Amino acid sequence: MQENKEIIFIDKPRGITSFGVIKVLRRKLGVRRIGHAGTLDPFATGLLIVGIGAGTKKMKEFEALPKTYVMDVLLGKKTDTGDPEGKVIEEKETGEIKAADVEKILAGIEGELELPIPRYSAVKHKGLPLYKYARRGIPVEQKMRKTKIFRLELIEVIKKESKTTLRVEMEAEKGTYARAVGEEIGRRLGVPAMLVELRRTRIGDIKIEEAKKLDEIKNTDFV
């Protein structure tokens, strides 16, 4: 699919929220009515589909499409957010991690399953996002969400000094929390785990190669 003046594909950089991307585009394009199809966490990078003007009406169609990610899962460490943004709450020696064991576990996660919704997420409880309760230290019973993982493949086992990181490619339905999947991989291996890198490479048939960097967007290109 080719982008047009109403829909553009952005390669979101690390360190900015998805809404932060929208704010940058509003300033660049001089347009207020801009929205996106599927949030990426600040530490994550990759494909973000953005609707401009009338294009915002099409965002729900894109949100419903399956997403593909490349995840770096660090074994032996867990944070309260499931990613590098949070506080370390558990550490443990991993021992020898064999690729064959990882592949067996990934195959067992594929399909339909229930995973906990991260405490630091935008899912609402009594009208407030869960992350607001977490930031205030207010306990909320952790909810589960049914999801479907179509494909979970090991790309490589990365060993550096005493650390082991699994690079995994995942294709999943909308609403799947990659952080929860990373932690589940660790749980099944018997060790704490967290995501240290997350890159969305595909939404439906749209590939990251079709996306533009934020600094490549010019007013004259789309308005």
Which pLDDT does position 198 carry in this prediction? 97
Report how many domains make up the chain. 2
Joined together, the tokens standing for residue 177 give: 């929390």
- Token match 């390669």: residue? 11
pLDDT tens profile 110-162: 999 998 777 666 666 566 665 676 577 767 667 778 999 999 999 999 998 88
Which pLDDT does position 98 carry in this prediction? 93
Enclosing domain of residue 82: 67-118+144-202
Lowest mean pLDDT across 45-54, 89-98, 117-126, 170-179: 117-126
Confidence check: pLDDT of 67 > 80: yes
State the virtual CA torsion across 204, 205, 207, 212 in degrees, nearest 10.
-90
Catalytic residues: 41
Four-residue CA torsion sign, 25, 31, 32, 33: negative
DSSP E strand boundaries for 161-214: 163-172, 193-203, 206-207
pLDDT tens profile 46-66: 999 999 999 999 999 999 999
Residue 20: give its domain's CATH number.
3.30.2350.10
Q: pTM of the predicted model, to two decimals? A: 0.89
- Identity of residue 169: E
Which pLDDT does position 116 carry in this prediction? 76
In a domain, 210, yes or no: yes
In a domain, 33, yes or no: yes
Q: Are residues 72 and 41 in the same domain?
A: no
* pLDDT band at residue 108 under the 50/70/90 scheme: very high
